[in-house]
Amino acid sequence: MGTGVTIEVSGLSKWFGRANVWSDVTFTMPPGEVSVLLGPSGTGKSVFLKCLIGLLKPETGSIFIHDTDLVSARAEQLYDIRKLFGVLFQDGALFGSMNLFDNIAFPLREHTRKGEREIRDIVMEKVDMVGLTGDEDKLPGEISGGMRKRAGLARALVLEPEIVLFDEPDSGLDPVRTAYLNQLIIDLNAKTDATFLIVTHDINTAQTVPDNIGIMYHKHLAMFGPRELLLTSEDPVVAQFLNGRREGPIGMSEEKDADEQAAENGRTRFTVPSMKPQLRASGGLERKAVARRMQRVMNMVHELPPRARHAVVDSLDEGDRVRYRDVIGDARLA
């Protein structure tokens, strides 16, 4: 499988007629890392994913992948770039009349000249990766929602993508299935080293899966950064989102009015709970992105607020403590 790629988004804005979905979205998804995108419904998270794969065209800005700007790319270039993406849509988007094998084989038959023997090998490998061995002959209607998502994931992986996008993979799943899916996502990231972007509403997923978190709010990307920064943030919007609290600037209809907000201000101040540990790849698997990310975060650790710095240091294992002792030993980190 390919190695993950960097995706550099800058100054991106999207309009539908006179309606602005979001503007000035600027951030970089580091290679092979897992990022989560959160935000209230209707803030344009799905629109953003569609812009990434070239289904929608942003009005301004650029999206650079491998020195190609997707926004200004010509049709042929876009066709090549699109092959780098695997996408898991909300419902798995399987063809109801095809069994799982044919569903998963579909992109290979459609986009490659591979023979049936090779297609079988690839499909069965992906079927095994997502834990569906023995279910290949079933129809989507005969299996659970969780299995449909895994089948959709197998199909998203058959063309060996360097970038995998997930639009609410955990919607409609119970907490146990979500926990299995999240572990599967982390394990697949270890096996592929592809760059992952997950849109989710699930707080536990946001707290335990990603290396980086972004929040769409108020027609902007309100914040994007390492998990330690967002999960320890006292910013009212960020803290409300990542802790699933009713109190905060986000109300039922996206934003609370001044009276509601004033009524809350008298209440006790919220302390951000300590960070949950991040999911690790299952035994025997290693995420290459982890070491790369550690290096990256250590290079920026002095720019982080104190709570985030401490969270970074607390999450280091013994080897990293030795490797980065000069950085940690710095008085500013004590």
Residues forming the site for Mg ion (CB under 5 A): 46
Q: In what order do the strands lie in the sheet with 19-29?
A: 19-29, 7-16, 60-65, 68-69
The torsion defined by the Cα of 199, 278, 6 and 157, in degrees rounded to 10, comes to -60
Q: What's the min distance (Å) between Cβ of 51 and Mg ion?
A: 13
Q: What's the min distance (Å) between Cβ of 111 and Mg ion?
A: 26
The residues of the shown chain that bind ligand ADP, judged by CB under 6 A, are: 16, 21, 39, 41-47
Q: What's the min distance (Å) between Cβ of 167 and Mg ion?
A: 6
Nearest residue to 232 via CA among 306, 300, 327, 334:
306
Q: Which does 4 bind (CB under 5 to 8 A by kind): ligand ADP, Mg ion, none?
A: none
Q: Of 21 and 104, which CB lies nearer to ligand ADP in the complex structure?
A: 21
- Closest CB to Mg ion belongs to which residue? 46
Q: Which does 99 bind (CB under 5 to 8 A by kind): Mg ion, ligand ADP, none?
A: none
Q: Which does 43 bind (CB under 5 to 8 A by kind): ligand ADP, Mg ion, none?
A: ligand ADP
Alpha-carbon span 15 to 219, nearest angstrom: 11
Q: Which does 44 bind (CB under 5 to 8 A by kind): Mg ion, ligand ADP, none?
A: ligand ADP
Q: Return the amino acid letter for 70.
A: L
Q: Return the amino acid letter for 117.
A: R
Q: Of 7 and 216, which CB lies nearer to ligand ADP in the complex structure?
A: 216
Q: Of 102 and 254, which CB lies nearer to ligand ADP in the complex structure?
A: 254
Q: Which does 249 bind (CB under 5 to 8 A by kind): ligand ADP, Mg ion, none?
A: none
Q: Of 41 and 268, which CB lies nearer to ligand ADP in the complex structure?
A: 41
Q: Which does 21 bind (CB under 5 to 8 A by kind): Mg ion, ligand ADP, none?
A: ligand ADP
Q: Of 24 and 314, which CB lies nearer to ligand ADP in the complex structure?
A: 24
Q: What's the min distance (Å) between Cβ of 171 and Mg ion?
A: 9
Alpha-carbon span 156 to 145, nearest angstrom: 16
Q: Of 46 and 205, which CB lies nearer to Mg ion in the complex structure?
A: 46
Q: What's the min distance (Å) between Cβ of 48 and ligand ADP?
A: 7
DSSP bridge partners of 225: 213
Q: Of 37 and 105, which CB lies nearer to Mg ion in the complex structure?
A: 37
Q: What's the min distance (Å) between Cβ of 251 and ligand ADP?
A: 16
Q: What's the min distance (Å) between Cβ of 326 and Mg ion?
A: 44
